[in-house]
Structure 1
């Protein structure tokens, strides 16, 4: 099992500053309706979306934009592949709706972008994974050989790109997945699923570098952010904390001005390995609240080296200076 560093979310919902995005007027627009897409919530628009993407990706006249207007577009599993001849924007103003039946997916992601550079996914639109029909079938907490459900949207081998202003709800499993991406910004994203939805991680990252995640809202039934091995130079700000680390070296991570609510009394968790203790961890101005009846909010910190500044709630996280080196 891959090592990972988790920022736990568990059924809490954190409302933070969202960054708005405006439609772009530069380059050429490729409207999916021109390729046969229908916003009726029933027609499978996979072919129309794929055709619009291929033409936009191969257009050599400058930046291109694949445009999904307001409306409900039913979409089966789809992959958007590069490389593209110029920077490309995927502008979603409407709602993309996934199949209810998990058997409709042959891969472990619903929407996948791969081998694309200078990609922008924006528009303030909604991705609806319709996961409630799949969650009762998820027994991964008991069965290590459980079937994998589809992640709402994934990026693989994507560079110099960004996603902003997108909303993702009710994923069958995770919401956003990043693998082998470089120089990627995530801003103004909202991710939500019920607190009892299994394995609905907000953001999962592996083998990636030079990423910046900021100003997001995450409330799911599992981890807010899961950081797998091989990830470096990752900056996360304005996202709820609470984390877990095992068998992976965590260094030089700063948590500053983070706030939110927790459904459990233990709102902040930093459990690092004795063999690979966390080093250079900085906590400053943390404010987490707990509304339960069984006591005040607490923190659990094990094998963590670093420093604490400012006012922090909870304030009982033990960070040892002797683990700094």
Structure 2
């Protein structure tokens, strides 16, 4: 009986081992398929070819970039894979530096229509942005050409980006569009504070997104939202420098909507804003709702808490007109730290669509300037205040 039991255990072990081996994704090392690490030779065809092999491998595959520097021209990597697919970047992928090879294109590395995607490895994406930043002038130049986002996920489902560094993107670092069930964690994003439009992560028309335990230091919004984005959880993000976390700008088209956003346990250091909601003036109709901002530290932030429904950065808008975007059910709770301006809390809502159900709970924000104390300024808003309020809620009315 003991012998039969041992045989049974061995058989089970063998079957489990076979299942595990069969379930493993095959690894496709780009160095075994013509990859070159001199930082000059174009690896875009190698990347595409190896991706296609991994994608069509039964059971899935992983594209591996070992340690080294790989120059890569813009690529689009398509789904339809026969299993989970991964890109493991242990080295550095280097974008084209020359402006001629990067203008009027919306991507450097793009993934489209992919399911079950993992991007990780501890390596870097270097967008080589400084050569392009002087041409990022679309607010002033209607003839401006597009500059590429470093990493795009379009129509992607069930994906994770983990332990990746993005450096000096020419435009947005990571753009998530029309995608769902995406987790971004343990990433680092870096660009100078004066680099234009280098948003860290931009979300649009996407659902069920998590952004966790990451450091974003850039020249524009650390995280930004455009229309059609909901069910977003942001936690453990350190932002700065940059423009903060921005919902919007919204209202360019009818039906703009952002909802069910939870921002917790984050810190903002030397940023232009903390958490901001911004809508165009004038605007089409839309909604921002179910926004929860909780347990946030502000360190020398210009506008720690701000709703701006007269956002008007260019000549194509009119700050004398009003937004039609309805902002409602927004909660700011346990926000502390310092502001570099007197206007610590600014709730500038629309005269035609006043903000509704805005809650301020346990706000402890101090102006660190030499003269006077901080101010909480409001207009066209329904506010309920609970717990500590430093400064006192809505003590000043904003003149429109």
Q: What residue number does 2:277 align with?
A: 244
SS in 2 for 1:43: strand
4+ long deviations beyond 4 Å: none
Of residues 144-153 and 48-57 in structure 1, the stretch that sits farther from structure 2 once superposed is 144-153
Q: Could you say what the CA RMSD is over the residues aligned between the two structures, in angstroms?
A: 2.2
Alignment size in residue pairs: 293
8 Å Cα contact 1:284-1:312 kept in structure 2 = no
* Cα distance in 2 for residues equivalent to 1:143 and 1:203: 24
2:92 maps to what in 1?
A: 95
The answer to whether the Cα contact below 8 Å between 1:199 and 1:221 also exists between their aligned partners in 2 is yes
Once residues 207 and 362 of structure 2 are traced to their aligned partners in structure 1, the CA distance between those partners, rounded to angstroms, is 30
Q: Which has the higher strand share?
A: 2
Report the alpha carbon displacement of residue 317 of structure 1 after superposing the two structures with TM: 6.6
Q: Quick one: distance in 2 between partners of 1:109 and 1:70? A: 24
1:221-243: CA deviation from partner (whole Å, max 9, x where unpaired): 11122211111222222334331
> Counterparts of 2:305 and 2:168 in 1: how far apart (Å)?
25
After TM superposition, the structure 1 stretch with the greater mean CA deviation from structure 2, 175-184 or 102-111, is 102-111
- Correspondence for 1:78: 75
In structure 1, the partner of 2:31 is 33
Counterpart selection for 1:306 from 350, 358, 373? 358
The answer for unaligned runs of 5 or more in structure 1 is: 1-24
The within-5 A match list for 1:174-213 is 174-213=172-211
Match of 1:11 in 2: none
Name whichever of 183-192 and 171-180 sits farther off. Answer: 183-192
Task: Flag structure 2 segments of 5+ consecutive residues without an equivalent.
Answer: 1-22, 238-267, 269-273, 310-321, 350-354, 367-373, 385-400
Structure-2 residue corresponding to 1:64: 61
Give how far 1:141 is off. 2.8
State whether residues 60 and 81 of structure 2, in contact with CA within 8 Å, keep that contact through their aligned partners in structure 1: no
Q: CA deviation at 1:174?
A: 0.7
Give the Cα separation in 2 of the matches to 1:26 and 1:284. Answer: 45
In structure 2, distance between residues paired with 1:179 and 1:110: 15
TM-score normalised to structure 1 length = 0.83
Which is greater in Rg?
2
Cα deviation 1:267-315 (Å, max 9, x = unaligned): 332224753232111112223434x5xx557232223432122344268
Task: Report the Cα distance in structure 1 between the residues aligned to 2:212 and 2:347, rounded to whole angstroms.
Answer: 24
How far does residue 266 in structure 1 lie from its aligned partner after superposition? 2.5
**Normalised by the size of structure 2, how large is the TM-score?**
0.68
Aligned mates of 1:30, 1:82 — CA distance in 2: 17
Whether 1:112 aligns to 2:158 is no
Show the counterpart of 1:269.
306
SS of the aligned residue for 1:198 comes to coil
The secondary structure found in structure 2 opposite 1:42 is strand
Find the residue that maps to 2:63 and give its secondary structure.
strand
Q: Provide closer, same or farther for how the CA distance between residues 261 and 228 of structure 1 changes in structure 2, counting only shifts above 3 A.
A: same
SS at match of 2:228: coil
What SS is found at the alignment partner of 2:211? strand
